[in-house]
């Protein structure tokens, strides 16, 4: 946006050729900018000062965040313990460059990285820990700044400021208005003061960074070999990997917890289904709606029980008993006929009661019957065969139990 000398000259020529015509907004803006002395130097110094203040602030906050962060302490201590266990050593620390290799080391069974196992241990033993990445935002921003280039820019500005002083002295010997000379002198003095202050701040922040490396256990002989950009990039990338791994570990942990909960619920449901049903006190037999049905049911059972256990030796009084006589000529023909008639009358009586009970209207029932089927009360048709000497009796029984 800074106008060049050619643009400035053409605008001035056009203004002299047409003094009555006003300049456009763009031309007027460029002409105003060109009237400011040393505009490029002023803008560069201003931008550098603003960027440097933000960078210095980020580095300062980043070191404070790392120093007070408990999650980073837990991670570093866990990695140190794992390394000592695997190597069978008792080291008191490790270089921060090893953090780049943690995601690459994997076990031989599950193919999980060392970072995954370390993250699982941290989550298990330190439940209050965080994802680390969200707590070191200043370090992430510092990783995007090259402090070596920043120092080079600061030295370059210092050289340019000194050269400007030399140029001002040369110009002042020939032609220069006193007001312009005073204005340029004030500007260069202000630039020199700011550059000196920035150099002091830069030196202090670097010394503080070196002290922080000593606090982390870095050897004193290797402190100057570690740059701020390299250090910030290692921690930022490691924190990002740790956050991703931590989310995956938490998801797996939640899935295992849900699976255990489902297993507990599934077992409980099976126990409830297979548990014996205890009838409520005072409840009526299943399938019986009222007292009349219950009494009729008891009567039918009594008839069947008496018919099976009672009677004479020939079982002539058994209801529902049908006899098959062998064709034997003799004196017992009439007796066999009488037995068949008596058995048919008893069977007719039982069948009549069964039909009357089955065809009873639904309006006579006091309560609706539950249509649940029981294995113990399953309708069946059985043939009871009884051999008595020279005769064979077949008792055709209908189970009087009902569908429940």
* CB neighbour burial string for 377-400, b if at least 16 within 10 angstroms, e if fewer: beeeeeeeeeeeeeeebebeeeeb
pLDDT at position 360 is 64
pLDDT at position 38 is 67
pLDDT tens across 98-156, in order?
A: 898 898 888 888 888 999 999 999 999 998 889 999 999 899 888 888 888 888 888 88
394 three-state secondary structure: strand
Q: How far is CA 29 from the centre of its chain?
A: 57
The structure tokens listed for 160 are: 């340019």
21, with CB counted inside 10 A (0-12, 13-18, 19+), is exposed
pLDDT tens across 388-399, in order?
A: 444 444 444 444
pLDDT at position 277 is 52
Residues 6+ apart with CB under 8 A from 315: 321, 386, 388, 393
368 three-state secondary structure: coil
pLDDT tens across 187-235, in order?
A: 888 888 888 888 888 888 889 899 988 888 888 888 888 888 889 999 9
The boundaries of every CATH 1.20.58.2220 domain in the chain are 37-248
pTM of the model: 0.54
Q: E strand or H helix at 323, and its extent?
A: strand 321-324
- Phi and psi at residue 321, to the nearest 5°: -90, 120
pLDDT at position 216 is 83
The structure tokens listed for 259 are: 């699976």
pLDDT at position 370 is 55
pLDDT tens across 19-40, in order?
A: 777 878 887 777 777 777 667 7
The hierarchical CATH code for the domain 37-248 is 1.20.58.2220
Confidence of residue 375 (pLDDT cuts 50, 70, 90): low
Alpha carbons 1 and 34: distance in angstroms, whole number = 11
Residue 302: Cβ within 10 Å count: 10
pLDDT tens across 229-274, in order?
A: 889 999 999 999 999 999 999 999 899 988 888 888 775 655 555 5
32, with CB counted inside 10 A (0-12, 13-18, 19+), is exposed
């Amino acid at each position: 946006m800074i106008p060049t000398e050619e643009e400035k000259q053409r605008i001035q020529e056009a203004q002299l050729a047409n003094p009555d015509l006003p300049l456009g907004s763009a031309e007027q803006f460029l002409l105003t900018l060109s009237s400011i002395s040393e505009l490029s130097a002023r803008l560069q110094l201003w931008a550098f000062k603003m960027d440097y203040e933000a960078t210095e602030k980020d580095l300062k906050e980043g070191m404070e965040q790392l120093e007070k962060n408990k999650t980073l302490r837990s991670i570093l201590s866990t990695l140190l313990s794992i390394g000592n266990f695997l190597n069978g050593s008792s080291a008191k620390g490790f270089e921060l460059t090893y953090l780049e290799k943690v995601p690459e080391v994997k076990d031989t069974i599950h193919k999980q990285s060392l970072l995954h196992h370390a993250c699982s241990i941290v989550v298990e033993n330190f439940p209050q820990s965080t994802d680390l990445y969200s707590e070191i935002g200043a370090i992430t921003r510092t990783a995007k700044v090259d402090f070596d280039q920043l120092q080079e820019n600061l030295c370059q500005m210092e050289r340019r400021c000194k050269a400007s002083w030399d140029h001002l002295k040369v110009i002042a010997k020939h032609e220069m208005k006193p007001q312009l000379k005073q204005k340029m002198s004030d500007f260069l003095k202000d630039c020199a003061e700011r550059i000196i202050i920035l150099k002091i701040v830069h030196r202090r922040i670097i010394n503080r960074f070196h002290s922080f490396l000593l606090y982390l256990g870095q050897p004193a002989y290797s402190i100057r070999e570690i740059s701020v950009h390299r250090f910030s990039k290692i921690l930022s990338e490691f924190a990002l990997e740790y956050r991703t791994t931590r989310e995956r570990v938490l998801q797996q942990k939640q899935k295992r917890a849900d699976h255990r909960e489902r297993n507990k619920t599934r077992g409980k449901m099976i126990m409830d289904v297979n548990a014996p049903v205890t009838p409520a006190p005072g409840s009526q037999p299943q399938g019986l709606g009222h007292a009349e049905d219950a009494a009729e049911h008891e009567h039918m059972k009594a008839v069947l029980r008496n018919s099976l256990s009672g009677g004479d030796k020939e079982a002539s009084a058994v209801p529902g008993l049908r006899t098959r006589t062998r064709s034997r000529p003799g004196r017992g023909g009439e007796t066999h006929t009488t037995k068949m008639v008596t058995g048919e009358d008893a069977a007719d009586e039982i069948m009549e009661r069964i039909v009357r009970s089955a065809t009873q209207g639904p309006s006579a029932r006091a309560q609706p019957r539950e249509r649940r089927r029981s294995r113990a009360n399953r309708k069946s048709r059985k043939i009871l065969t009884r051999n008595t000497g020279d005769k064979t009796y077949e008792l055709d029984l209908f189970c009087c139990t009902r569908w429940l």
